[in-house]
Chain A
Amino acid sequence: MTQQMINGAVLCAVYVLFSLGLTLSWGALDVLNLAHGALMMFSAFTAYVVTQHLDLPLALLFVIGVGTAGVCTLLLDVIVFRHIRAKVADKRQSELLTLIAGVGAAGIPVTLAVAYTHDSPFGIGHLDWSSYSLGGGAQISTIQIVIIALGAVLCTALALWVSRTRTGRALRAVAFDGETAELMGVNTRALSAVTMLIAGSLAGLAGMLLVIYLGALTPGSGEPFMLKGFAIIILGSVGSVWGTAIGAVVLAATETVVISQTSGTWVDAISFAIILLVILLRPQGVVGKGLAERV
């Protein structure tokens, strides 16, 4: 039981980090970045390629992996999404084109990873972590502690950033009405760049932690994560930081229970069931309010 709670908490922390990035760009900038999952995978993949050629300390690998996803997301926004937003006046049309561009962009990292690894799993090593016994046969390893702590700390930090700081307030204003925010002196372009950089870095961090925790990822690992990310942010309301945390707890808990009760092959279907239920019952989200409304 204790062991399952630990596993669930680790899962939850990874989900939180991944989904926060997805919900941040959707909530604040109306960008549903369908390349988010692919870039999560790509951060671990880049670190893996580096380990094939160089022997670097783990911290440096993290910088490379997280930085890759962050910078790629930033570039995607600066080069592609911003171009679409500036050119297409109709908001719905611009959202649709952003969606399609995201799918196209996702094809790039996935294809690179498939070509390099011949579509097989890859890892970056660093699998030996000391474990501590918690009694009753339950154990927790250092990496598990690190993941849980990072999830909790970064989620809290992001929530405080959005609710308490000057730029966080500006982000909420942009989420509601970007043009008027710009009129108030908010540099919306810079703010959206920062937001996308954070969003991408969070995906990268999730990817790095996951590849170390699981030992390996595959080029297709990002896709089920998009499914999970959707379920979490729709459960917690798009743009809501605490809502995302609650959504991640619900999904991780459900999945952990299902894995322990069944053979585990249907675990990805839970996300979809959650999505359908939320859509049918309460499309505006179950917990929390959007970014503009409250954290």
Chain B
Amino acid sequence: MSSWYFSHLTLIQGMLISIPLALSVQIALRSGVFSFASIGFYGVGAYGTGILTMRGWPVLPAMLLMIVASGVVAYLMSAPLIRLRGLYLGMVTFAFDLILTVVATNGGELTGGALGLLGVPLGMGTGGLLAAALVAIVLVSQLERRSVGRALVGIKASEELVMSVGVDLKSRKRTVFAISAALGALSGSLYVSTFSTVSPTSAGFTLIITTLTMAVIGGTSSWIGAVIGTVIITWLPTMAATIGEYQHLVYGVVLVLVVMYAPEGVLGALRWLWRRLAPKVRMARPSGGAALAATGPPGGPPPDRGAEAEAEPVPADRVKG
């Protein structure tokens, strides 16, 4: 076991680092915010923490500063952005990610140019990464559970409905934007303090592909999906040795296929299985009579079952039946 652990340490660490990043994309998509900005904030977090620790800052304060700063900056940035229609927001945040690559490349001594930062002090053990990933998971799952989370889901379900119950939609979206950025910065900070290096390309286009694949393949309707996706994408290259340099090609194909055929991701598939199996489980129970009477006749799905299933967890990607 321990030999397995040590030979796979880099992958395990990589997986733990990716979890907050995948969550940052998931939380945005789940709330109907077409934003790739958190991937840019990953770069901000990585470069910021790297630059600070190389100048003698201890790791934790540097990380915290970058996370908080990213959250605050994102909150301020979100004021004009949140008014934008879907595609415009996607475009602007995509442009934001690309421009950060340019900034990093041209930052001179501060960012180390095209080579990036090398020899950033190490400050993260696997335990620390695990703790950070867990904090991110707890934060996002609690957000989903609490009223804030419900309202966020509501943004996607029906903007009019949520507004009619008096939830301030704009401020909700801005909060999502800020949290998403903070999670991105967290992930970047963890990366640089674990692997001691960051370069312009490590936060560029390929990271957008990888992160989106993680979030979408798992399913964006819940934090569980982001975690599932991260696990799959981290371990996929080890399963097939041939993937190697074609890694991002495989991700690209997988991403397209998932979007086309299973937009609710692995999580959606599991839910679907559960919906099919659950009535049978209930039927098998002797006391199931009352429940059955409430939900409809056995054998076929009760007429309002579909509507109920849709209204409750609000699948990220509702498709025409």
Contact = CB atoms under 8 A, between A and B. Distances in A.
- A contacts B directly (C-beta below 8 A): yes
B96 A272 contact: yes
Interface in B73-123: 80-81, 83-84, 86-88, 90-92, 94-96, 98-99, 101-103, 105-106
Task: Identify whether the interface residues of A are mostly helix, strand, loop, or mixed.
Answer: helix
A65 B92 CA distance: 29
Contact of A269 (B84, B87, B103): B103
Contacts of A271: 95, 99
A106 B34 CA distance: 18
B319 A96 contact: no
Contact of A92 (B32, B88, B213): B32
A175 to B, nearest CB: 14
B124 interface: no
Interface centre among A223, A231, A269 (most CB of B within 10 A): A223
Interface string A90-122: 101101110111011111101110110000000
B212 A100 contact: yes
Contacts of B94: 34, 226, 230
Name the interface size band of chain B.
35 or more
Interface stretch (A80-88, A178-186, A241-249): A80-88
Contact of B320 (A83, A88, A234, A279): A88
Given A107-B206, A283-B84, A88 B252 contact: no
Interface in B210-269: 212-213, 216, 245-249, 251-256, 259-260, 263
Contact of B260 (A80, A220, A265, A269): A80
A115 B246 contact: yes
Contacts of B95: 226-227, 230-231, 271-272, 275
A105 B96 contact: no
Interface string A257-295: 000000001101101100110011001000000000000
Task: Identify whether the interface residues of B are mostly helix, strand, loop, or mixed.
Answer: helix
B315 to A, nearest CB: 10
B253 A279 contact: no
A32 B205 contact: no
Given A87-B320, A104-B259, A114-B245, A95 B87 contact: yes
A227 B260 CA distance: 26
A224 B102 contact: yes
Contacts of B91: 32, 230, 234, 275
Interface in B1-37: 29, 32, 34
A96 B260 contact: no
A107 B317 contact: no
A99 B34 contact: yes
A266 B106 contact: yes
B259 A101 contact: yes
A12 B32 CA distance: 36
Which are the 3 A-B pairs with shortest beta-carbon distances? A107-B252, A104-B255, A111-B249
14 contacts: A88-B317, A97-B259, A103-B209, A104-B213, A106-B252, A107-B206, A107-B251, A107-B252, A110-B248, A111-B246, A111-B252, A114-B245, A279-B81, A279-B92
Interface of B: 29, 32, 34, 80-81, 83-84, 86-88, 90-92, 94-96, 98-99, 101-103, 105-106, 201, 204-206, 208-209, 212-213, 216, 245-249, 251-256, 259-260, 263, 317-320
